[in-house]
Amino acid sequence: MSGHIEKVDRSTGLVLLRDGLTLAFFSGRALDELSDGLIAALDLFVEAIPADTLAWAVVSATAEEWRELTPALMKRMRDSLKPPGVGKRKRTAILVNDAADAAPRYSFTVAGGPRDERFPEARTWVQMTFPPAMAENGQTERTFELVLAMARLLQPDYGYCAPALVTSATDLDFGYASAKGIALRHPGYDVEINRMSRLDIGGLTRGARWITLLGPELTRRLRGIAAIRAALPPPIDVRDEEGVVVIRAGAIPELGDTNRRQDTPLLRAVARLLEPVTKFGEIDLLSYFADFDEDLLRRWERRFLD
């Protein structure tokens, strides 16, 4: 991984796109059912990153302004994830990071609410961002252990960890316009708008990533862990982590480089396995990333398949 991708908005001086590592989880359970795991995951995230890194927060689903993070505000965030309040609000969202309006190096996000039969495809979403060094030689095993620990706490229906092109949460146009060429050249980078994708991902995946997490239903649809192992070449590690199947496509992530004809064979193998349970045509990526070019979005979403 390069570790040096930074796209700066000259009018503000803010870094609105950088490379990093994304860890995302999706669950069909309501927030109040996940409360203990969410609080434990937030605490584990804080323990895993350098002290005093987190500096800014948005605490409610309706708030838009960043507030300076204080111990009192952190307590309020943790309390917002506890019952009975978390089960009564129509929507709960928290976002804490190191960068406010800039693309973060470190961030933790939760969004969800109670079960709502009107939106059966919506999922509770938890996402974390880390610097790119977390997926480089020397740190990959520590990162993998962190992924496993988070999976045990959250028991997701689906999740993934991957090198990513991380955008500012407040200026999507600049970030995704800057990401397009990089993502098409280096297919191993994740590009996401998961805060919107969570609303209709249902029981599907987003395709191949460095580490893929499959809950019981997705595992069943892929005919079980034995069939998953049999479908993937030996360099890919497949294990059961307390009911979550974990697929790791190599000791370090494949990024690929189409200009230099550097392929991503492990990600291709995972993509073929996941194709029947992959969601294509993500509408918000069509808008922001592909600029309404359906062929470009299809090319990117099927980059490991075609």
155: pLDDT confidence band, cut at 50, 70 and 90?
Answer: very high
Nearest Cα neighbor of 106 from 68, 175, 49, 154 is 49
pLDDT at 247: 99
Q: Six-digit token pair at 291?
A: 């600029």
For the whole model, what pTM was predicted? 0.96
List, for residues 177-195, the tens digit of each pLDDT value.
Answer: 999 999 999 999 999 999 9
pLDDT tens figures, 283-298:
999 999 999 999 999 9
Place of tokens 């990513």: 164
For residue 150, which of 32, 25, 51 has the smallest C-alpha distance? Answer: 25
Mean pLDDT, residues 147-167: 99
pLDDT tens-digit readout, 41-82: 999 999 999 999 999 999 876 667 899 999 999 999 999 999
DSSP 263-301: --HHHHHHHHHHGGGB----HHHHHHTSTT-HHHHHHHH
Sorted by where each begins, the domain ranges of the chain are 6-30+105-301
Q: What span, in angstroms and rounded, lies between the C-alpha atoms of 63 and 83?
A: 21
φ, ψ of residue 182 to 5 degrees: the values are: -65, -45
**Is the model's pLDDT at 1 over the cut of 70?**
no
Cis peptide before 83 (omega within 30 of 0): no
Q: Burial level of 117, CB count in 10 A (0-12/13-18/19+)?
A: exposed
Q: What is the pLDDT of residues 84-110, one digit of tens each?
A: 888 888 889 999 999 999 999 999 999
Work out the percent of the chain whose per-residue pLDDT is above 90.
Answer: 89
